[in-house]
Amino acid sequence: MKKDEYLNFILNQSKQIIYDYDIFKDEIIWSGDIEGITGFDKDYFSNNKSSIWSNLVHPSDKLEFFSSFYGYEDNKENYEFRYRVRRKSGDYCFVEDKSKVFKNENSEIYRKIGVIRDINKREKVEQEIKDSKEYFQALIENSADAISIIDETGKNVYQSKSFEKMLGYKNEDRIGKSAFDFVHPDDKERLLKDLEEARKTPGSVTKLNVRMFDVNNNIHYIEGTGTNLLHSNIIKGFIINYHDATKSREDEAENIKLQKQLNHSSKMDAIGQLAEGIAHDFNNMLTGIIGAATLLKSKIEKTENKNLIDLILDTSIHASGLTASLLAFGRKENNISTNVDIHEIIDSTVNIFSKTMDKKVKLIITKNAKDYKVLGSLSILQNAIMNIGINASQAMPNGGDIIIETNNITLSDDYCEKSRFKLKSGKYIEIKISDNGIGISKKNIKKIFEPFFTTKELGKGTGLGLSAVYGAILKHDGEITVKSKLGASTSFRILFPLSIDKSKEGKKKAVDKDIISGTGNILLIDDENIIRFVGKKLLEKLGYNVIVAENGKEGLDIFKKSYKNIDLVLTDLTMPKMNGFEAFIKMKEVDKNCKVIISSGLIRDEDFIKFKKEGIADFINKPYNISNLSKVLKKNLLN
């Protein structure tokens, strides 16, 4: 084999083209594997002009090709660049062109010798690597989760764009700085401990749960994982993958809140059912007590004994407020529509306290409010103040001061919007009830208004007192807050909107002295023996003739026989065999003009409307006293 043939064989095997370019003549001598790289045989390049080669260059690469192939720099000898050339098949392949220029005695570049190699496979691999890198980079940068890398010293060395979206920090804000600078101080020690534990095991994954500050210093709840790649020659640190869990935390908190509200609502329904269940029996008993005490008082001459009976009557009126408060708390009570004097309620409550409270407890009353009328239920409001006062006295077993103070204040829109109660801006009366007793712990103060919650010993508290107070405040569109220092003091602050309507004045009297006598025959129907006994005595004291029946069916039978001699029927609502309303409907069949008054401790709004529509003459709430009983009877008998 000749030397030239041997050299060409070696060049062909190496997949390279050798060119010798005479710049002055613009002629190129080609050798090597030109056909293997381009697909064209040597005859295609037989005229040796450089344009033959330049015509094969990809259009997008021509500018760089002409600049590098024909452009020369004074002090540069070696040139290297890449471009694409068209093969005979029409496709393009990448080539790498390395060349050296030579100068003559006049320092003119006259010759260029170069090597062209087929790098198509290498370029394809490099492009795949580049594409893969861009692909994964795009995944990382556009992921909702943020990714960062911290080195073994705890410094940030990388963060994805998602981190900026999440917390607002740009790369320059964090790169090179300690990752712990952005963590809540209370969480740093725990995070350090978790990462130190993960450091012990290469490749280990640790769950992270920390609070971090954003660029505006707001706290975010961050959840994620940290992977120990300190052993990796590429990463040499921890990869932290995390997401902002603040919204899910808030949603979870909201769900818990809604669940608590649902539970609370269920409790309210239970209390409403409980209140309805006890209202009938409880008010029946109170009606008997008030009636019996009234009858007893009329037979006693000594003032001291009469005062004791007045105390029974006052306390019974207060006790009636217990049921009213529970009904209000369970949203079962009728609408409130009476102007109530808060100062009068306080005076009445203090009067009861002075007779029943431990003498070691001192009551201090300061009535600063100039306006003190609110629209509401006298019994419910008195019971609310009474409950707080009783709790205050029980918080001072060794004695102390209970301070009740009133003031007038004006609430702004801003205050009302921030309040968790449904308030409207305007004028209010503020009632502060404070004591210097044992106080309430932070743990318990959050629960004191919950139904059935009590810190008292078994048998000494039901947990319904303050919950009933809370319901009463809601019923009256007010607000109640409490502050306490354990072992020192407790202060309740109550706000009620002042009443604008001056037409109705609600005044509380245990026994109104305005008693109206009458004449006529009354049928009294009640399933409680005590009501039949006391009711008959009260009616007879007022001057009426009385016939009694123990249920609606018996009363109906009596009415059918004697309706012409019966001027009015006073009937209980809830009774066995036949209730009062059912009896009334049957009585109308006998005498369409019969006068029937329903007496009950609980009449729902919907029932009230139905009864009036059917022709019930009137209603009287239990417990009633001789005064309001006499007025209701006289009004209806006159009609």
Q: What is the separation of C-alpha 583 from the centre of its chain, rounded to a whole number of angstroms?
A: 50
pLDDT in the model for residue 394: 87
Whole-angstrom distance, CA of residue 610 vs CA of residue 605? 9
pLDDT in the model for residue 120: 86
Name residue 275's amino acid: A
For residue 214 the two structure tokens come to 């954003």
The answer to whether residues 406 and 343 touch, using CB atoms and an 8 Å cutoff, is yes
Whole-angstrom distance, CA of residue 35 vs CA of residue 88? 9
The residues spanned by each domain of the chain are 3-125, 143-244, 278-506, 521-638
The answer to whether residues 320 and 284 touch, using CB atoms and an 8 Å cutoff, is no
- The lowest-confidence range among 335-344, 424-433, 583-592 is 335-344
Work out the pLDDT band at 503, boundaries 50, 70, 90.
very low
Give all strands (DSSP E) within 71-134, no chain letters. 78-86, 92-103, 109-118
Whole-angstrom distance, CA of residue 143 vs CA of residue 174? 19
Q: Which whole-number Å values give the CA distances from 76 to 66, 83, 286, in the listed order?
A: 16, 20, 116
Domains 3-125 and 143-244 agree in fold: yes
Work out the pLDDT band at 455, boundaries 50, 70, 90.
low
Helix H or strand E segment including 435: strand 426-435
Range from 301-310, 451-460, 554-563 that averages highest in pLDDT: 554-563
Name residue 492's amino acid: F
- Which tens digit of pLDDT belongs to each residue from 589-633? 999 999 999 998 777 767 878 888 899 999 888 888 898 899 999
Q: Which is more confidently placed, 14 or 414?
A: 414
Whole-angstrom distance, CA of residue 23 vs CA of residue 46? 17
- Which tens digit of pLDDT belongs to each residue from 89-143? 999 999 999 999 999 998 889 999 999 999 888 888 888 878 777 777 766 666 7
The CATH class that applies to domain 278-506 reads: alpha beta
Is residue 218 exposed (0-12), middle (13-18) or buried (19+ Cβ within 10 Å)? exposed
pLDDT in the model for residue 351: 82
The answer to whether residues 490 and 484 touch, using CB atoms and an 8 Å cutoff, is yes
Work out the pLDDT band at 557, boundaries 50, 70, 90.
very high
pLDDT in the model for residue 410: 95
Does residue 82 have a pLDDT over 60? Answer: yes
The answer to whether residues 365 and 343 touch, using CB atoms and an 8 Å cutoff, is no
Work out the pLDDT band at 409, boundaries 50, 70, 90.
very high
- The lowest-confidence range among 144-148, 288-292, 332-336 is 332-336
For residue 572 the two structure tokens come to 């209980």
Mean pLDDT along residues 66-78: 82
Whole-angstrom distance, CA of residue 181 vs CA of residue 316? 66
- Which tens digit of pLDDT belongs to each residue from 31-57? 888 898 999 988 898 888 999 999 999
The answer to whether residues 39 and 95 touch, using CB atoms and an 8 Å cutoff, is no
- Count CB neighbours of 89 within 10 A: 9
For residue 357 the two structure tokens come to 């409270």
Does residue 461 have a pLDDT over 50? Answer: no
Give the largest CA-CA distance in the chain: 155
Does residue 335 have a pLDDT over 50? Answer: no
Whole-angstrom distance, CA of residue 400 vs CA of residue 357? 12
The answer to whether residues 244 and 222 touch, using CB atoms and an 8 Å cutoff, is yes
DSSP string, 534-593: HHHHHHHHTT-EEEEESSHHHHHHHHHHHGGG--EEEEESS-SSS-HHHHHHHHHHH-TT
- Which tens digit of pLDDT belongs to each residue from 505-539? 444 444 445 789 999 999 999 998 989 999 999 99
Of residues 147, 187, 188, the one with CA closest to residue 165: 147
Whole-angstrom distance, CA of residue 483 vs CA of residue 467? 17
521-638 folds as Rossmann fold (3.40.50)
Backbone phi and psi for residue 226, each to the nearest 5 degrees, phi listed first? -120, 125
The answer to whether residues 476 and 468 touch, using CB atoms and an 8 Å cutoff, is no
- Which tens digit of pLDDT belongs to each residue from 203-248? 888 888 888 888 888 888 888 888 888 888 878 888 888 888 888 7
Q: What's the number of CA atoms in the CB half-sphere (13 Å) around residue 556?
A: 18
Query: How high does pLDDT run on average in the chain?
Result: 83
Q: Which whole-number Å values give the CA distances from 342 to 317, 380, 381, 506, in the listed order?
A: 16, 12, 8, 10
Length of the chain: 639
Mean pLDDT along residues 430-444: 91
Work out the pLDDT band at 275, boundaries 50, 70, 90.
low
The answer to whether residues 356 and 414 touch, using CB atoms and an 8 Å cutoff, is no
- Count CB neighbours of 348 within 10 A: 21
Q: Which whole-number Å values give the CA distances from 558 to 399, 562, 564, 584, in the listed order?
A: 59, 6, 11, 13
Does residue 261 have a pLDDT over 90? Answer: no
Backbone phi and psi for residue 506, each to the nearest 5 degrees, phi listed first? -90, 115
The conformation of residue 280, written as its DSSP 8-state character, comes to H
Going by C-beta distance under 8 Å and a sequence separation of 6 or more, which residues neighbour residue 156? 148, 149, 150, 174, 175, 176, 177, 178, 179
The answer to whether residues 633 and 522 touch, using CB atoms and an 8 Å cutoff, is yes
pLDDT in the model for residue 569: 95
pLDDT in the model for residue 12: 57
Mean pLDDT along residues 306-332: 69
The CATH class that applies to domain 3-125 reads: alpha beta
Is residue 4 exposed (0-12), middle (13-18) or buried (19+ Cβ within 10 Å)? exposed
Of residues 116, 64, 68, the one with CA closest to residue 93: 116
Sign of the four-CA dihedral 625, 283, 447, 267: negative
pLDDT in the model for residue 411: 94
Work out the pLDDT band at 321, boundaries 50, 70, 90.
low
Of residues 479, 480, 481, 483, the one with CA closest to residue 426: 479
Q: Which whole-number Å values give the CA distances from 548 to 291, 539, 579, 621, in the listed order?
A: 16, 11, 15, 19
Q: Which is more confidently placed, 23 or 166?
A: 23
Whole-angstrom distance, CA of residue 99 vs CA of residue 18? 10
Does residue 463 have a pLDDT over 50? Answer: no
What is the dotted CATH code of the domain comprising 143-244?
Answer: 3.30.450.20
Whole-angstrom distance, CA of residue 30 vs CA of residue 427? 104
